[in-house]
Structure 1
Amino acid sequence: MKRPFEVRIVLVRTIYERNIGATSRAMSNMGVDKLILIDPQCEITYEAQQTAATGQTGLQNRTTYKSWDDFLEKEPESIKICFTARDGKGRQVRDIDEVLADIKDHAPQFQHSSETPYLLHLVFGPEDWGLSGEDLEHANFCACLPTWGENWSLNLAQATLLGMFSLRRAWGGSRTTLDGGDERRAPQGIEGINPEQTLKTWLEEMGFDLTKQKKINAFTVLRRMLLQNTPTKKELVILETVLQQATRKLREWKEFQKRDINKS
């Protein structure tokens, strides 16, 4: 992105407080802090706090507006993406990935570099019928979350999580470091520990001339047998350790033979 962005989640006329709490938790997973409620149809009690669990920030720092007019008067200028599962006349609903690509490539707010974040509101409707036609009049874009099963209806908190995930996947952000993470560790797979080179070195020490053999040779056969099944990182480490030790032992034996010949 040419400029940073700020995301705020907007829940319109939410019926169940547990969904507000679960949304707060999803926000904490996706690095979003600001939760906005428009005309909520429930009270926020201990149930919402329980559902939020370790993601209390959005819930505790929420802003509540009594109406869209109140929201539009007090919230900064933004691009508003309204999520709906119903298509129809005038709605022009597109998949969220397409909407995000359109904004990134064509929205004037993101066509020049700036250090000032631009605001996006991701707007979700109530659990019964979703956003109304009047709600969608405030949208810059109408988006849907793709589903593959017969049931296209998503739980509100699931929908907010998928919406934020789609945005992060498309536009990026600072990924969470896993517990116990260490950047110095080798990456998963062949690239990090390079058992292929170790295998070649071992075969050469065994006396195989890999430069003079055909495509199907000792190296290609063993490589296919040992590595074709996508081994885990631990398995690759063990394989490389075995080959390295075997290579060292071969070199020690060759060195011993040389010394023995020189003595005689």
Structure 2
Amino acid sequence: MLANIRIVLVQTYHPGNIGASARAMKTMGLTDLVLVNPRCFPDSEASRLAAGAEDVVDNARVVGSLQEAIADCVQVVGASARLRSLPLPHFDEPEAMARELVAHAEDDPVALVFGRERFGLTNDEIRCCSHQVSIPANPDYGILNLSQAVQVLAYETFKAWRRRPESDHCQPRPAEERRPTREQLDHFHAHLSRVMQASGFLTQPHARTEAQLQALFARAQPTRKELSLLRGLLRSLEESAQDD
């Protein structure tokens, strides 16, 4: 199950932070590392600071976008040091986040996403996530190095995995009862946007309205079967409009 928990680093500037993050991951049993447009990789500094976790660095995948890194994930948690105006579900405590993440990882890939060393994730990147999480720290100096943040959340995840109830060790849930992937949700939101614009509900692209609807469905956490029903409803509305 730990193999289903992915660490995603977005545009890491210092290659040494990749190695240090890989070391933090391996100490907590995590091995799936994806790098989104790193400035310099592969690099000897990444391997040097991995200090025994060179296999995690060597097996890291490099992709061109955050969407590509998380397309198959059913839950994507963006680590953010500051609260934002985006209405996504937010975990104030990493421990609560880890319990939910581990529960979803029983059946499907999930991801923890970390941004750039200097300014973290952009608002557009946070919108790609299903949830946010912050690490409680000294309000007068709450600055964590990238690998330190990875270590804290990886530890909470490993702890939640060790403490998961025995009743969770069961047969995989049927596919229709599981959470949709980010790619499936992206298709749904694109479909919803087309229908809203065609119906006149949106007369022009309206990022705030669409972001609020995305947050609504993130909070609702529909199953794949429920998302399929919603897609069927949208198709029916499209066909009805065409007949008129």
What is residue 53 of structure 2 aligned with on the other side? Answer: 55
What is residue 77 of structure 2 aligned with on the other side? Answer: 81
Identity %: 27
Aligned residues: 162
Q: Which moved more, 1:63-72 or 1:155-164?
A: 63-72
Distance change >3 Å, CA 48–CA 171, structure 1 → 2: same
Q: Once the 2 structures are TM-superposed, how far is the Cα of residue 164 of structure 1 from its aligned partner?
A: 0.6
User: SS of the counterpart of 2:109?
Assistant: strand
1:167-186 mapped onto 2 (5 Å cutoff): 167-172=157-162
Q: What is the TM-score with the length of structure 2 in the denominator?
A: 0.60
Distance change >3 Å, CA 101–CA 35, structure 1 → 2: closer
Q: Measure, in 1, the Cα distance between the counterparts of 2:29 and 2:97.
A: 21
Q: Once the 2 structures are TM-superposed, how far is the Cα of residue 117 of structure 1 from its aligned partner?
A: 3.6
User: SS of the counterpart of 2:48?
Assistant: helix
Give the letter for the 1:135 counterpart: E
User: SS of the counterpart of 1:122?
Assistant: strand
Q: Once the 2 structures are TM-superposed, how far is the Cα of residue 159 of structure 1 from its aligned partner?
A: 0.5
Q: Once the 2 structures are TM-superposed, how far is the Cα of residue 41 of structure 1 from its aligned partner?
A: 1.9
C-alpha contact (below 8 Å) 1:4/1:118 kept by paired residues: no
Q: Measure, in 1, the Cα distance between the counterparts of 2:23 and 2:47.
A: 10
Q: Measure, in 1, the Cα distance between the counterparts of 2:7 and 2:62.
A: 12
Note the alpha carbon deviations across 1:28-56, whole angstroms, 9 max, x for none.
10111111001112232111111001111
C-alpha root-mean-square deviation of aligned residues, in Å? 2.5
1:120-135 mapped onto 2 (5 Å cutoff): 120-135=110-125
Q: Measure, in 1, the Cα distance between the counterparts of 2:108 and 2:143.
A: 30
List runs of 5+ in structure 2 lacking aligned partners. Answer: 165-244
The structure where helix makes up a greater share of residues is: 2
User: SS of the counterpart of 2:4?
Assistant: strand
1:211-230 mapped onto 2 (5 Å cutoff): none
Q: What is the TM-score with the length of structure 1 in the denominator?
A: 0.56
C-alpha contact (below 8 Å) 2:117/2:146 kept by paired residues: yes
> Which of 122, 127, 132 in structure 2 is aligned with 1:142?
132
Q: Once the 2 structures are TM-superposed, how far is the Cα of residue 98 of structure 1 from its aligned partner?
A: 2.8
What is residue 6 of structure 1 aligned with on the other side? Answer: 4
Distance change >3 Å, CA 103–CA 19, structure 1 → 2: closer
1:178-197 mapped onto 2 (5 Å cutoff): none
Distance change >3 Å, CA 61–CA 92, structure 1 → 2: same
C-alpha contact (below 8 Å) 1:5/1:120 kept by paired residues: no
C-alpha contact (below 8 Å) 1:84/1:93 kept by paired residues: no
Give the letter for the 1:63 counterpart: R
Q: Measure, in 1, the Cα distance between the counterparts of 2:63 and 2:98.
A: 26
Q: Once the 2 structures are TM-superposed, how far is the Cα of residue 70 of structure 1 from its aligned partner?
A: 3.1
C-alpha contact (below 8 Å) 1:28/1:57 kept by paired residues: no
Larger Rg: 1
User: SS of the counterpart of 1:118?
Assistant: coil
List runs of 5+ in structure 1 lacking aligned partners. Answer: 111-115, 175-264
Q: Once the 2 structures are TM-superposed, how far is the Cα of residue 27 of structure 1 from its aligned partner?
A: 1.2
> Which of 154, 161, 164 in structure 1 is aligned with 2:144?
154
1:17-32 mapped onto 2 (5 Å cutoff): 17-32=15-30
